[in-house]
Each structure stands twice: as structure tokens, then as C-alpha cells.
Amino acid sequence: MQTDDDTEQVVSTGSLPGWDRVEQLVQDAHARYRDLADGTVADYIPELAAADPAWFGVCVAESGGGLHLAGDAEVPFTIQSISKAFVYALVCEALGHRPVLDRVGVNNTGLPFNSVIAVELNDGHPMNPMVNAGAIATTALLPGGTPAGRWEHLTRGLDAFAGRRLEVDDVVYRSEAATNQRNRAIARLLESYGRIEADPLAVVDLYTRQCALRVTARDLAVMGATLADGGVNPLTGERVVSAQVCRDTLAVLASTGMYERSGEWLFEIGLPAKSGVAGGIVAVAPGKGAIGTFSPPLDPAGNSVRGQRATAHLSRSLGLNVFASSVHVTERAGAGR
């Protein structure tokens, strides 16, 4: 992954810069990478290949509710793997910290998101909720009893994260449902290890639908800002999940959200984040807000090229890196040193 070293590294002490500065930096991030032509649009879900590679949207949602938009921030696309983060949060909210940790895990596989080998190497354990095996196991844990009940719980929760009703893109759903033999195989494999109790194919169907929910970069920013805001949607004021669930979800995103590139991502950008194969990325700055980006061309790990670059630029210039600090001058002076 490539990032720009000439972006000034700002260390924030807890809040975003003023409104005009954030606005200017969001416009800058868009202008800076608009013409970057690297990456390839995903086509293993046939319908995704119809995306325009030029689409590029950026949005920052402040945890106080302010929104900053640039480019195609309101163009809809399917949420894909980014849904895994929010479904995981809903399942943690319903079942609690420990049961989900035991059933799904939080460790990186070091392997691609749809790896079957990862399941085999780990005695059938799905390892973490951000790879397909773990996401399918997580969707199976949703409350509701029946597929319809689980879907109701899932959509009510994701709508609350976004602050509006999200719709399924039927064309993408059908396109993936007709070609997702690999996910069906993963679900059957989990079943063979006794790691999934619901009907595996019905769970894959729910998972495929959740991935086909349509969002925009703006929605992703608002959904992320809800995780940054202790679980309260900053636009609607609705509590969606607890602050502890947000903390757990962000910890999992930090270690696994960008798949086998998660270490490199954290090293360069320093924010919990999740990407999706349609080109979305959400990155969350706890207490401050979130960045939503959308641009379909992906790198070989399946992460949007422009989205990564724009997020890196904003993390640096807005002072969002959670590992960055500066010397606390006043305290040191007060201590008489």
C-alpha cells in the first residue's frame, strides 16, 4: 500500500479541527486522488463489473453530527463486506462480549477474505468476523429465530446505524446468489465442524442479502460515526449499540478489517477500518467521527485504491491516527520539570 509522506502529520488532542478546515481537507483529499487510475474493478460478482471506475466520493461525518461531502459521496453502491462490521456489532449487542468472542474469534487469519484453507488450518474455527467464514458464522447468530426474523433484526439495526432505510440492490443480490458457490462451501465446511447451528444455506442467503444493501459514502461515514460516538447515531440521536460494543467492534476492525493488509493499514493510517469489494471503505476515529469513501478500482487484497489514499491523507491531516501523540507540555511544566 502506498501513502503520501508529504502530508503534514497533525496530532490531535481529542477533537477535529474547525469546520472550515475539515471542509477544505475533504475537498483536498478528493481533488488529490480523483485522477489516480490504479486498481481493478471487482468482477467475481458479475454485476459489480458494471461500476464506473471513475466514481469517487469522500465524506467525513463528525461525531457531533456535521457532514462534509466531496465528489460522488451520494452515489449508491453495495455495502458488501462493510456490512460485516455492523452485523457483528448487532450480534455483540444481542449476545454479549464473551459468547461472540468464543464462537467467532478476533484474530487475523493472514489469508484472503474468502479463504477455505484458513478454516481448515484452524480446526473449523472461523477466526474473526471480518473474513467470510466468520461473517457467515456471525450472521447465523443474529436473533430472530427464522431467516425472516434474523433479516428483520439485521435491517432494523443497519438502518439505525445509517439513520435511514437501506434497500437491497436486487440485481447485485441475484448476481452474487447465482455465483457464490464458494461461500456456500465455507458454510457447509463450518457446519461439518459443528460451528454453525442454523441452516447453512439459509444463512449464506441472508449474508448475501446483507452484502447487497445499498449505501453511499455519506451513509458509511454516518454509520462509522455512530461507532465513534459510543453507539449513538449523531444525526438521529438514536442509541444503536452500547459504547462497549463500539469499542469491541473497533478493536476487531483494527486487527482484521483490511484483511491480510490490516497490519500495514494500521501502521500507515492508524485507524480501525473496513473495506468492501464494491469499493467502499469506512474508517473510524473514536470520539471524533468517521471517513466514508467510495471508488470501485481495488488493489489485489480487495481494498479501494483511491479510498485508501484519501483516508490516509485525511487521517494525517485531520490528526486521526489513534497511535499518534505529542509531548504534553503544560503538564510537564506544572510538574516542575
Q: Which active-site residues does the annotation give?
A: 81, 84, 207, 259, 277
Please state the φ and ψ torsions of residue 72, each to the nearest 5 degrees.
Answer: -85, 50
150/54 Cα distance (integer angstroms): 36
The answer to the question of residue 183 lying near ligand DON (CB under 6 A) is yes
Query: Looking at 63, 115, 132, 233, which residue binds ligand DON (CB under 6 A)?
Result: 132
Q: Which stretch binds ligand DON (CB under 6 A): 12-20, 274-282, 286-294, 320-328?
A: 274-282
80: contact with ligand DON by CB under 6 A: yes
Is residue 173 part of the contact set for ligand DON (CB under 6 A)? no
By CB under 6 A, tell whether 108 contacts ligand DON.
no
Of positions 77, 113, 265, 294, contacts ligand DON by CB under 6 A: 113
* Of 62, 72, 169, 176, the one binding ligand DON by CB under 6 A: 176
Q: Map residues 138-167 to x or -, x wherever contact with ligand DON holds by CB under 6 A.
A: ------------------------------
CA distance 211 to 136: 11
Instruction: Render 199-255 in DSSP notation, one character per residue.
Output: -HHHHHHHHHHHHTBEE-HHHHHHHHHHHHTTTB-TTT--B-S-HHHHHHHHHHHHH
Rounded to a whole number of angstroms, the minimum distance from the CB of residue 184 to ligand DON is 11
Number of residues that bind ligand DON (CB under 6 A): 12
Question: Measured from the CB atom, is 100 or 131 closer to ligand DON?
Answer: 131
For ligand DON, the binding residue among 275, 308, 311, 317 (CB under 6 A) is 275
Rank residues 185 and 324 by Cβ distance to ligand DON and give the closer one.
Answer: 185
Rounded distance between C-alpha atoms, residue 145 and residue 332, angstroms = 57
Residue 284, strand partner residues: 290
Site string for ligand DON, 284-303 (x = CB under 6 A): ------------------x-
Closest of 213, 217, 212, 224 to residue 75, by C-alpha: 217
Which 14-73 positions form the footprint of ligand DON (CB under 6 A)? none
DSSP 277-294: TTSEEEEEETTTEEEEEE
- Residue 110 CB, nearest approach to ligand DON (Å): 16
Q: Closest CB to ligand DON among 129 and 276?
A: 276
Return the number of the residue (226 or 262) whose C-beta is nearest ligand DON: 262
DSSP state of 48: G
Residue with cell 480487495: 302
- Name the burial class of residue 94, with classes exposed (0-12), middle (13-18) and buried (19+) by CB atoms within 10 angstroms of its CB: middle
- Under the binding rule (CB under 6 A), the answer on residue 311 touching ligand DON is no
CA-to-CA dists, residue 125 to 60, 82, 107, 151, 259, angstroms: 36, 21, 11, 24, 17
Question: Which DSSP string do the residues of 100-152 spell out, in sequence order?
Answer: HHHHH-----SS-TT-SHHHHHTTT----TTSHHHHHHHHHT-SSSSHHHHHH
Per CB under 6 A, 277 contacts ligand DON: yes
Q: Which is nearer to ligand DON, 134 or 163 (CB)?
A: 134
Report the amino acid identity of residue 337.
R
Residue number, nearest CB to ligand DON: 81
Nearest approach, Cβ of residue 292 and ligand DON (Å): 15
- C-alpha angle 156/278/227, rounded to 5°? 45
DSSP helix, strand, coil percent of the chain (3-state; round to 5): 45, 10, 40
Mark the segment that binds ligand DON (CB under 6 A) among 216-224, 269-277, 285-293, 306-314. Answer: 269-277
Interface residues with ligand DON (CB under 6 A) are: 80-81, 113-114, 132, 176, 183, 211, 275-277, 302
